[in-house]
Structure 1
Amino acid sequence: MKRKRRGVSFGTTVMLVLLVITLGGSVFVILRLAGNGSIDLARVAGALQMEKGDQKIENIRIQQDSAAQSGGPGAASQGAAASQPAQPPASAVSSGRDGAENPRAVLTFGGTTAIETEVRRSCYFNDTKKYDFTDMFQPLREVFQADWSCVFLENILSDEYKVNATIVPASAAALMSSAGIKAAFGGFSGIYDKGQAGLASTRQALESQGILTPGLEANGELTVLNGIRFYIGAYTGTISSSVRKSMAKNGDDTAVPAADPATIQRDIQNARAGGAEAVIILIQWGKDGKNVDKTQRQTAQLIAEAGADVIIGSGSRIPQAAEMISVTGTDRRQRQTLCVYSLGTLLSGNRNNAKRLGSYLLHVTFEKGQAGAVLTEMSYTPVYIWRYKQDGKFNYRCVPVNGKAPDGMDSEQMKTMEKAGNAVADVLTGSPLTIR
């Protein structure tokens, strides 16, 4: 007689469900340990209300970033109360590098990238009737290798409008992606020239290349790099008041966050409360060709007092000083904030003087120890905008001044490159930065 087949018992079903949940959780943790992620501060705020020991994380949205590693720079303020934030669940944090004693993150920042008319034309090829922007940053590809990297972009990227000194084809995003650059700060004085459509097309062009877009969207995320929680705040102070009014009228007032000190202070406080171990503020400020003014210094002081660890500026299009700003924390202990007023112009067709041809990349290293995330290294690479003529048209390459001169660079061009490098060295005399 055939034996009657038994169904799966209730107990077995429960065990199988638990096994699936456990395996799913393990895969989630492994994915987080393997890469970087972004934490939505709005969700973090709710999770931080949990009682101690509660490891529920459904109120924290962690998104795996695109193929390009994402992250946000910053170094924790030592001794300040702001540097001791409430901690989100451990499962929301990626681990340090394999074999590293302490988690470390290396970040690199480049200056104003302006694909102006002459630069754009140099990238057009008559035989294919197409643009190719990928060569100009290739000499910097190795220098840009980092856990996170960013430049200050001053262009609208779109195929819907006629090109000019500001508007370039969407394919220009390949300029950054081909060099391994992971983010482009897109806020500048002309970013709203085509309204929300120009903003959207620029974001879309960059994101299609795996490039993050700080400055072109509301701030509000923590990003994890090698086990360190960073907050990047990106703010633009060079948009005119009339344009700001137009943006507000169209409901776009937060699309390009304004460089308002009170807003920046509030955002830093929220980020620290949300678990940020380190804070960097990227800011578009100053006037073209002008030195650092009183307003910039006052703003930098306020940002430092709010708890920023690094401030990186752009907007003047010339290299400017880097210094440490000393502030007193709420616990009356001294701490310091690195402030770089302007990295200068990384790419442009303006060749009026050596200051317009030279800029510098900023390299910072953060290490996480028992005292938290700490800025441990600060260095720079001077860069020269090399222009040369080939086959009847000009070509542009951005090259490290302290590296080997590229093939084809003649003695006169080498002298010009030396002058550009000296212009950078002059503004950094006495700064905390060392040449890389």
Structure 2
Amino acid sequence: MKPTTRDRLLMVTALAVSLGGTGAIAANYGGKQAPEVQAIEVWAGNDAEGKWSVQFVGDTMLGNGEIRTLDPLALDAALSGVAPLFDGDLVIANAEGPMTFSEQPLIPGKAFSHRVAPQAAWALSKAGVDAISLGNNHSMDMGLIGLQDTIRYARNAGMASFGAGNNLAEAERPLMLRTEAGTIGVVAIGENFGKLSKADEVNPGTVVFSPEAVQRGYDLARAAGADWVIGYVHWGDNYTDTTPQQRYWAQVLVDAGYDVIVGAGSHIAEKIEFIGDVPVAYGLGNFVFGTRGRYESFGKQGVGLMLSLELSPSAPTQMAVRCVVTDNRINGFLTQACTAPQMVGVMSEINPALQIQGDVARMPCRCLEPPE
């Protein structure tokens, strides 16, 4: 289990890495080649055997519903059932709502505009989250102020944030996870969430799918020193099984060179499949999410996945998957681990090759192999 007292060095910085002599392709902004790669840096130590792991969790939003209070104890309680399940040396969550005091939505009248109390940043960090992806359809819900507040509060709480920024150059900065075992670059990219949410040379927002953006994300991560590149993507339709569009972009990501693809956005757990040797987790579902959810009306089970990639210098990478109950009508807004019978049913649907070992299911993958 991940230690709560963090016995590793965790440092978050913005690092400029020269592209000179790397052979990598520079980012291209409107036909202009960028002179350097900007990356978000996180450092972590290995264990005595050189093993290391990164864990991804799905849609996370400590607001709305029954989590409206600013009371830190209430925020801690919302995470109390899942904090013991964090087993990654680094944990990354998809933050589905700006952490800000601002109550001015970017788009007045939008059906779902989320806002989260800034105290949530400290609650997430305290529970064990190390980095948050902002590359989703809610990071701009409270406009530029909300985005900037989120980045600032996350940083103050000791978490890295990536996937959105004041402009495209900031939004597409990869998250670089550096260890003695090697470096993973994590690229956040997603569907087009509207003109006001799409980053460009001068406007804030997120990075939108295009073949060029997918390739540029990979190239930026490699230029910054990544041995492997993971696409942490936001896609799919709410409460809907994997769509043809998701499969199309998964193939584009694989063709671009990505080693692993982890998806979020649909609020339900989706299958884990392979394109060649590349594992594709199409949807992690919700993690801790402060709305009632619409599982019943869509005929879907309210569960989410926690996906760990366990690296070892002497053995194949292992995918470790945990199951959590996310239907707030059932769990009372306190996400908790699935029961043993639920695990059996969920994992057989996600991928029958997953072997259940207690409260986690594992399978090897020919991915993230030790660099030569």
Report the TM-score, using the length of structure 2 for normalisation. 0.75
Q: 2:176 aligns with which of 222, 228, 234?
A: 222
Letter of the 1:282 partner, please give it: Y
Letter of the 2:196 partner, please give it: V
Q: 1:46 aligns with which of 6, 14, 20?
A: 20
Match of 1:363 in 2: 308
Q: 1:396 aligns with which of 298, 309, 333?
A: 333
Q: 1:243 aligns with which of 172, 189, 196?
A: 196
Match of 2:32 in 1: none
Percent of aligned pairs with the same residue? 20
Match of 1:22 in 2: none
Instruction: Report Cα offsets for 1:97-134 as digits up to 9, x if no partner.
Output: 4x32xx3221111111133422323x466xxxx77311
- What SS does structure 1 have at the residue aligned with 2:326? strand
Matches within 5 A, 1:229-308: 229-240=183-194, 242-244=195-197, 248=200, 251-253=202-204, 255-308=205-258
Letter of the 2:334 partner, please give it: R
Shift of 1:321: 0.4
- Please tell me whether Structure 1 or Structure 2 has the larger radius of gyration of its CA atoms: 1
Letter of the 2:19 partner, please give it: A
Change (3 A) 1:200 1:433: farther
Change (3 A) 1:184 1:96: closer
Match of 1:430 in 2: 352
Contact 1:206/1:212, CA 8 A, preserved across alignment: yes
Contact 2:310/2:320, CA 8 A, preserved across alignment: no
Q: Take 1:115 and 1:96, find their aligned partners in 2: how far apart are those partners?
A: 31
Letter of the 1:136 partner, please give it: A
Matches within 5 A, 1:1-150: 35=9, 42-46=16-20, 48=22, 70=42, 96-97=46-47, 99-100=48-49, 103-121=50-68, 123=69, 132-150=74-92
Letter of the 2:67 partner, please give it: R
Change (3 A) 1:207 1:264: same
Match of 1:385 in 2: 326
Shift of 1:375: 5.2
Shift of 1:294: 1.5
Q: Take 2:228 and 2:252, find their aligned partners in 1: how far apart are those partners?
A: 17
Contact 1:157/1:170, CA 8 A, preserved across alignment: yes
Match of 1:318 in 2: 268
Letter of the 1:243 partner, please give it: L
Contact 1:383/1:400, CA 8 A, preserved across alignment: yes
Unaligned runs of 5+ in 2: 1-7, 24-34, 106-111, 165-170, 362-372
Shift of 1:261: 3.0
Change (3 A) 1:96 1:344: closer
Matched, 1:210 2:147: no
Change (3 A) 1:231 1:124: closer
Change (3 A) 1:303 1:338: same
Q: Take 2:275 and 2:142, find their aligned partners in 1: how far apart are those partners?
A: 38
Matches within 5 A, 1:179-198: 179-198=127-146
Change (3 A) 1:308 1:422: same
Instruction: Report Cα offsets for 1:210-253 as digits up to 9, x if no partner.
Output: 1111212332453312331111111121512x3246x548x225
Report the TM-score, using the length of structure 1 for normalisation. 0.65
Instruction: Report Cα offsets for 1:74-99 as digits up to 9, x if no partner.
Output: xxxxxxxxxxxxxxxxxxxx8754x3
Change (3 A) 1:186 1:375: farther
